[in-house]
Amino acid sequence: MLRRLVVGILLSSAVLALNACGRQQGPEESCNFVQNSSVQRVSWGEQTPIILYVDKSVPPEYFGAIEQAVEQWNSARGRGLIKIGGWINSSAGPARDGANVIYWLREWEADRPFEQARTSVYWAGDRIYETDIRVNEKNFDYAIGPVAGTVDIVSLMVHEIGHVLGLAHLDKEPSVMATSLANATERRLPTATDIQSLKCEY
């Protein structure tokens, strides 16, 4: 059964005016990136590698899968865009706290039962300054590999880390950023389209 992957871009939390330190350009081609109100791509720019932490709520057996997903993006671009910062214990849960964190949540909104995960992206002008990934444990089972009735955690993490980089959903052509990921399906390798998108910004 197809499950929907939805990125939670928190528009109300993003400062959409151009930042004085950001690029002072006009509208840009999207290259499949999220764009601000001035039609500029939103990304980390030169602020790489992005340090991504893993909250203690994430089962330890999935740490390697997260590392594998990070490596897929780093290999696709040929340099270290993302680095795992290690474990963090955030008792408050997801919040705008200056850290990029992956959370494993046992509680999920009742009106979003088909959402496997959500990445919140916070930006000012055209620069991302924080992201958080939430994984929905309440409504889904996860595994490493194509196991019947479960979501492949590596494929899910590759998709969500694409959102961390600033990429939007892409359903028109083969991409790890496709909106839906079926159970027991592996979609781990960024495609030529995904790599070309990265080159626009990184």
pLDDT in tens, 78-104: 999 999 999 999 877 899 999 999 999
pLDDT at 93: 84
Task: Answer whether residue 21 shows pLDDT above 70.
Answer: no
pTM: 0.87
CATH: 3.30.70.2860, 3.40.190.10, 3.30.70.141, 3.40.390.10. Which one for 2-201? 3.40.390.10
Model pLDDT, residue 168:
98
User: What pLDDT, on the 0 to 100 scale, is given for residue 91?
Assistant: 75
What are the sequence ranges of the domains in the chain?
2-201
pLDDT at 24: 52
3-state secondary structure the chain: CEEECCCEECHHHCECCCCCCCCCCCCCCCCCECECCCCCECECCCCCCEEEEEECCCCHHHHHHHHHHHHHHHHHHCCCCEEEEEEECCCCCCCCCCCEEEEEECCCCCCCCCECEEEEEEEECCEEEEEEEEEECCCCCEECCCCCCCEEHHHHHHHHHHHHCCECCCCCCCCCCCCEEECCCCCCCCCHHHHHHHHHHC
Least confident of 10-14, 29-33, 84-88: 10-14
pLDDT recorded at residue 26: 84
Share of the chain above pLDDT 70, in %: 88
Q: What is the pLDDT of residue 90?
A: 82
